[in-house]
Structure 1
Amino acid sequence: MPTTAAAGPGLDPDDNRRALELDRAGVFHSWSAQAELSPMVLAGGSGCRVWDYAGTEYLDFSSQLVNVNIGYQHPRVVAAIQEQAAQLVTVSPATANLARGEAAKRILEVAGEGFSRVFFTNGGADANENAIRMARLSTGRDTVLSQYRSYHGGTGAAIVATGDWRRIPNRYARGHRHFFGPFAYRSEFWSDGEEQECERALHHLERTIQAEGAGTIAAILIETIPGTAGIMPPPAGYLPGVREIADRYGIVLILDEVMAGFGRTGDWFAFHRYGVTPDLVTFAKGVNSGYVPAGGVLISPRIAERFDHDVYPGGLTYSGHPLAMAAIVATIDAMRDEGIVDNAARVGAEVIGPALHRLAEDHPSVGDVRGCGVFWAIELVADGDGAEPLDAATMAALKAELLGRGLLPFVTANRIHVVPPCVVTAQEAAEGIAIIDAALGALRL
């Protein structure tokens, strides 16, 4: 059950009611039917735990929207924001600022070779917007290929690049086409395993390029590991194969690391796991754990040099906002000093992965588990053989059961995404998975 303690200093249980009343009276929520909402109230957090105004505490296995990589209220990040606010609260993106320069330096360092510049944005969607713009301008081509199982953001081009249902009522951007990426568990290619899935998915991509007209395609935009769509690590040879195809046809390769970057997979970036260097990398979320909104594009020298003497026709008022930049510097420094990326890798390999595979053995509803680091998915099925996803009503009951047992979950479609902060301890990881085990048992799943 959730831990309930007497409200501490500054917490008033009546504020739960007041927060909900004010929310329902004036807030318009994303991706929601407004009259049907009853949002959870949160008042505070620390590390991997959050609580409401009554002091009811939850272990967070969602990282909110898979972005609180460094955990809640990390003292170094909070202090850096406070210090920057006392010095300079905002500055035009046309100026030079030490916090912005230090943030770019650190991001380039952890990204590794192959990148020379960082363009800062306010989040992941506008990072993808600008990466698409850069690809189109540098190639003189228009079409962008992206996967059906994907999410790239809620703005104009980003939502149309997205592969799920949300693009359908939002098709206002031009030049977008989709293809199927590899996913052996629910293969679109009738494959009999990862190797064949990889081979057939690459063939499908190349045939799509040829059919659409290779000379018209500016970019291939891929989430290195698709996140919202189901946390689907690609087969080992897939991304190198995509890199080779992109090179052969003169296409810019953009890897979207908005969700997978900055420690989430147990590496600084997920593409480090696959031995590829993309032309552009988009990031946000974990770069400063969402403490202040920030995102950006890592740019290879080849594309950056295209704008050495030609004006780049893009910009944002809050690009490189100093509060966000200070949070980035403190986040990366703390992650390095405290071994947080290594912690994510270790807890994933030693605790989360083995425990989730035991769940699959113990519960017939667990059709598949997959992931790495602190980036995992449990796929739940109705019939035990993976053919029929668990229905929405049962998933809603499961989410309520998890909350009732003190776990804040990330539940989407027929999946539980196991995505705690990268600072999660082995004990906390085991605690959370034990709650999932108990909830599945209580519902006889």
Structure 2
Amino acid sequence: MEAKVMKTVTWRLMPFLVLLYLVAYVDRSNVGFAKLTLQDELGLSSAAFTLGQVAFFVAYAIFEVPSNILLERFGARRWFTRIMVSWGLVTVLTALVSTAWQFYAARFLLGVAEAGFYPGVLYYLTKWYPYRYRARMTGWFMMASPLAFIIGNPLMGALGDLDGTLGLEGWQWIFVATGLPAMLLAVVTLRVLPDGPDGVRWLTADEKGWIADELARETDALGAAHENPLSALRDKRVVWMALYFLCFPLGAYGLSFWLPTIVDGFGGLSSTATGFITAIPYVFVALGLYVVPKLADRSGSRYPWIAATTAVGALGLAATALVDNHALQMALISVAAVGIFAGQPVLWSLPSRFLAGVQAASGIAMINAVGNLGGGFGPMGIGVIVDRTSSPVTGLWFLVAAMAVATVATFGIKRLIEHRPVITDTPQRDTELGRSTV
């Protein structure tokens, strides 16, 4: 029964969730392409422009925990619909900004609107999948991020080349065209996304019972759970996981924000060509997000995989900053991007080893909220270096340091989490859907 249930759940939920996150990721990363012309129009330095990223992630951090608690109250279907309508509307309205402060306000409002979507989905998955499936399912969900760049970067490059069409500048086309899909998909979300296993017709009573029994067994393994959702915020494992996770968005968003600028610096490229070239590393990221979580789930030892991937990210970025050949730089960036992204689904399987129920909602949100501040300060750190050196490539050293810290910190996190009772993997089933092994 297990293989059949998990296969059914996966094909019913994951493609749609990936699609939603793909749209979300495009809407938060489109500013990297708009920057190519909008920065000059607003008269901002590189560091000043990246304050928009800081504003987005500060708002995201402030409202993320409340958002996840409200998700538990109102249900995933209605709450995700609200999130998507608001973030799509804010993205479209960003096309109207004409001053730096309007730009900062728009990015802050986008953070408010989107807060809770990513950690909300991670919490949502804990209502459907036992622990031993979650790293791989998170990897499938995170597949949306490289797909967003593979599909979105050429699209945004082409939109940038529409400069002057219908009286809109290229950067305005980017915001309008990338915001509308979120509002359209919100209608679909309200109709098709279930709040949990109990309300669906495509699972039998026995299949729903199997999911409920598995999740109850894991909750029992954690001991008594507090009803207060904020109690998880006092758990030192949550606090340290949040600080640890800070390194990962710092690297991921720092690279994605500045990659169009790095490629544009190669010279002689149209916006469309820049879009296609910047999509190349994310083809390899997609492969990494499929392979690494799968291997980590099978091995049952997640920490070495996280440490290995972050080390690859640090080494790849360092090598990129040291070479001058553009083709070699793109190859090394591709390697580094795999290292930065591929270990994250494995990392996100760790909180559910010590959090369950409503505590998981607030704890996961707390980790993501604090950690995602790195998504703002990563681009800003590079921006400060770029303003002083006039070279986007040298700014990569800021990300090298973040990945190196993450590599070392992984072993400290292991000691912290494994020192206390946690959920353990069960050996009777492999997590490849449809196949069982010992």
Regarding TM over 0.5, the answer is no
TM class by smaller structure? under 0.3
Larger helix percent: 2
Larger strand percent: 1
TM-score normalised by the chain length of structure 1: 0.27
